[in-house]
Structure 1
Amino acid sequence: MPIKNLKTQSKLAYCFYAIIFASITGCSHQITQHKISKIFNNSAINQNHFTGFALYDQDKRKMIFAQNESKYFTPASNTKLFTFYTALQMLGDSIPGLRYLERNDSLIFWGTGDPSLLHSALKSTKVYDLLKESPKKLFFADNNYQGNFYGEGWPYGDYNDYYQAEINAMPIEDNVAKFQADAQGNLQVKPAYFQSKLQPDTSFKPKNYMVKRALFENWFMYPTGKIPSKFKQEIPWKTSPELTISLLQDSLKKPVGLVKLDMPKNAKTLYSIASDSVYKYMLLPSDNFIAEQLLLVCSSKLSGNLSTQAAINFSKKHFLNDLPDEPQWSDGSGLSRQDLFTPQTLVALLQKIRLKINNDPKLHSLLPSGGVSGTLRNTYKTDNGVPFVWGKTGSLSNVYNQSGYLVTRKGKKLIFSYMNNNFIQPTAAIRAEIARIITEIHNRF
């Protein structure tokens, strides 16, 4: 055979094997249903409780892997993603903080549900300044909130816990009383209005030092004896229009009256704080109080009345009517076990959020970031200092979920929802296994 033909055949053979090798090595980095299934199903923890998982490719707009993706799960604080998206759709750059009307020598005002008034972290002063500086007589109209002080399905047994603040039209100072020991070892409370409501109780002997509120009144019992020097506790107070008036008067140092008056259409709106700062504080620490109040703020855009259910119904009809499975949605925060969502619906919602914001760095800054911030700070490690997962956690007893955004080492942008219900292991074990699996997907693809 001529040498020229041998060389030609050698070149052809080399090209053929080069193409095959490139194809094989290229495929090794492709995310396939089989590969993800193997990672997911090799987990022993996933086998002994109800688990759902959905993994979606943002760029290809297709589901890569799904298991129990259309089954309904208790979402816990993953519910806040629904509140977040509804607020993105209904509220502008700033939160409506107050509706008001100036009539003769009076300033009449209505709450919008805005959580930022004298809030411990949000530090908004615009509503306070308006009321403080007005030369007119102040009157609070309290009749525009239509709802209970708790969300649908909330447990009454948690009334003393910081995370279950009551819902009302005009919250003040997070709607929680903050207790701590002063330098002299005496029990102090903020707002100081409640100092006279403290009652030592010789029969109250909890295992660990704590303060306990009466179920339906603002009386706070505490044990006799020495108060631990580093003691701190937050307890929701029992809301009422009369308490709102008392707290406003105590803060403003001026009289405030209480009236029953329907809000006229020409009532002015005072905006209080940038919306993004409120969303961020809701999402990073998973703040239930802000989530519930935000739904009221959304409903304030519909009419003069404040209603959680009205905001939910409007959002489901106008913004969420194309989700894969209809959400059973009862409250803003996820405290209710009546909330039920599917993994594929949460993935679809996260895609809607991403398209609405249309700015990944901004979106990521609002969410807990693995290894860096919020409820994911201690769950993940960064990849050489760079986070690769951003999302929302959701935790109740026997419930732990994560839903969010994942970027792999190869730059693939994914959305996932990993839901776990009815387990009896410690939550820490479920959380660690989710982190292991999500991290493996990041590393391999």
Structure 2
Amino acid sequence: MLQRSNKSMNRRTTIIIIMLLICTLAATSCRVQQVSKSKIRNLINHSSINADHFTGFALYDIEKKKMVYDLNGDKYFTPASNTKLFTFYTALNMLGDSIPGLRYITKGDSLIFWGTGDPSFLHTTLKSTKVYELLKNSKQKLYYSSGNYSGNFYGMGWPYGDFDAYYQAEIGALPIEDNVAVLSADAKGKLQISPSFLKIYLKADSSFHPKSFTVERDLTNNTFRYPLGNVPPDYKQEIPWKTSDELTLALLQDTLKKPLELISVNMPETASTLYSSLSDSVYKRMLWPSDNFIAEQLLLVCSSTLPGPLSTGKVIEYSKKNFLNDLPQEPQWADGSGLSRHDLFTPFTMVALLQKIWNKVGDENRLLGMLPAGGVSGTLKSAYKTDNGKAFVWAKTGSLSNNHNQSGYLVTRKGKKFIFSYMNNNFTRPTAEIRAEMVRIMTEIHNQF
């Protein structure tokens, strides 16, 4: 009897010890989780740089499907080029593996074509030539039908003061060579412009005396004035040209070396589609250098898959209704690139969008290959240092005056995967200081967790 009693007591003691160990481990786990959250809070809140402007931050654990920490996560911020992630997700849903480059019909001895907004047509980097080859090799009479774009040449809320800045090319149904003139010096110190057709608009102005050699375009037309004298050998400038149907036709004729006529007829639903560049290459070109022109035109390409004329507003509303109706806070979305200050998104919304992008692409390597990688590529190449040669942040940056943001993906040294949105608005200190502090904090999260 005594032996039985001792065995029973030993069993009970063992069970109690196991239960105590389980409780201790659970408590330790909770404390570790709590400490992690506390450390992140301290990193964000104890930053003197974060304290002097409006800061938003959200960190989401992909594996656990939970928000780890946020600061002002439900407040609206000016996103700047973080807006391109909305354009990216819309394109992922509406376009296939190739970009629709042209819509066309043949009628007797005529080929009539309409633009789709495709930004890759003779683009300086993407260099898509499929549309060019179709039109160049056609034996039929060519007719360009304009009028299938219903919007303005600028997005909603774009500043007119930046009309001659390289990053604010005008929007249209059939862009050519980025809709941007490239000016440079030749070997003899003479001013050159590409496309060369635009030479007719170059005007030497003896009354123009800038501090250093520069070219200015008139606000309302394509007069490019420049000062007298030799052009510096290292001079290069990019200036958007003033778009018009007539200029598009003239540029096409000059490029194709064959006549075209301008008409305006409605496009039938049965019009054929010619596909141009691979979609992923266009997305990567939009995201790596944060290309505003491609972002705006991509929304028009998405619009080309819907009935009616090309329209930025129409496709934004379509995307919000069909793909983005479950976001935490409704986005105020105005354009494709983020040039507009009408765009307003919350950190929670950015995180939810990035989760949707992650799920939609379904291939981690493919997705991260299209985003700037810290210390490796795109707009983050010089911002971060790699960890033993490997990137740990893949994100879209967004900058306007007094605003700088990053939203994307983070992998820690322990292999944890997070989605984050770090938004800074209304600061007056140099952007470089804001960027450096963001990098410091994201690097600390990578190192500690």
1:40 alignment counterpart: 44
- Cα deviation for residue 200 of structure 1 reads 1.1
Matched, 1:120 2:124: yes
Two-structure CA RMSD over aligned residues (Å): 2.1
Question: How far apart in 2 are the matches of 1:272 and 1:235?
Answer: 26
Provide the TM-score with structure 1 as the length reference: 0.95
2:4 alignment counterpart: none
Matched, 1:87 2:91: yes
Question: How far apart in 1 are the matches of 2:312 and 2:212?
Answer: 36
Matched, 1:174 2:178: yes
Question: How far apart in 2 are the matches of 1:22 and 1:344?
Answer: 29
C-alpha offsets along residues 323-350 of structure 1, whole Å, 9 cap, x if unaligned? Answer: 0000000000000001000110000000
The amino acid that maps onto 1:382 is T
Judging changes above 3 Å, is the alpha-carbon distance between structure 1 residues 350 and 31 closer, same or farther for their aligned structure 2 residues? Answer: farther
- Name the % identity: 64
* Match runs of 1:233-312 below 5 Å: 233-312=237-316
C-alpha offsets along residues 91-137 of structure 1, whole Å, 9 cap, x if unaligned? Answer: 00010000000001100000000001110000111100000000000
- Cα deviation for residue 88 of structure 1 reads 0.2
* Match runs of 1:369-380 below 5 Å: 369-380=373-384
2:388 alignment counterpart: 384
SS for the counterpart of 1:440 is: helix
2:344 alignment counterpart: 340
* Match among 185, 194, 197 for residue 193 of structure 1: 197
CA contact (8 A) 1:245 1:257 kept: yes
- Cα deviation for residue 28 of structure 1 reads 4.4
* Match among 58, 61, 65 for residue 62 of structure 2: 58
1:148 alignment counterpart: 152
Q: List runs of 5+ in structure 2 lacking aligned partners.
A: 1-6
The amino acid that maps onto 2:229 is G
1:221 alignment counterpart: 225
Question: How far apart in 1 are the matches of 2:311 and 2:428?
Answer: 36
Question: How far apart in 2 are the matches of 1:59 and 1:229?
Answer: 54
Aligned length: 440
The amino acid that maps onto 2:36 is T
Provide the TM-score with structure 2 as the length reference: 0.94
Judging changes above 3 Å, is the alpha-carbon distance between structure 1 residues 129 and 409 closer, same or farther for their aligned structure 2 residues? Answer: same
Matched, 1:68 2:72: yes
Question: How far apart in 1 are the matches of 2:35 and 2:365?
Answer: 24
The amino acid that maps onto 1:133 is N
2:106 alignment counterpart: 102
SS for the counterpart of 1:32 is: helix
- Cα deviation for residue 32 of structure 1 reads 3.5
Question: How far apart in 2 are the matches of 1:25 and 1:131?
Answer: 66
Question: How far apart in 1 are the matches of 2:242 and 2:389?
Answer: 45
1:433 alignment counterpart: 437
Judging changes above 3 Å, is the alpha-carbon distance between structure 1 residues 70 and 226 closer, same or farther for their aligned structure 2 residues? Answer: same
Question: How far apart in 2 are the matches of 1:227 and 1:35?
Answer: 56
SS for the counterpart of 1:294 is: helix
Q: List runs of 5+ in structure 1 lacking aligned partners.
A: none
2:364 alignment counterpart: 360
1:350 alignment counterpart: 354
C-alpha offsets along residues 167-188 of structure 1, whole Å, 9 cap, x if unaligned? Answer: 0000000000000000000000
Question: How far apart in 2 are the matches of 1:26 and 1:341?
Answer: 32
Question: How far apart in 2 are the matches of 1:391 and 1:69?
Answer: 18
Question: How far apart in 2 are the matches of 1:98 and 1:290?
Answer: 16
- Cα deviation for residue 208 of structure 1 reads 2.6
After the TM superposition, list the runs of 4 or more consecutive aligned residues in structure 1 that deviate by more than 6 angstroms.
12-19
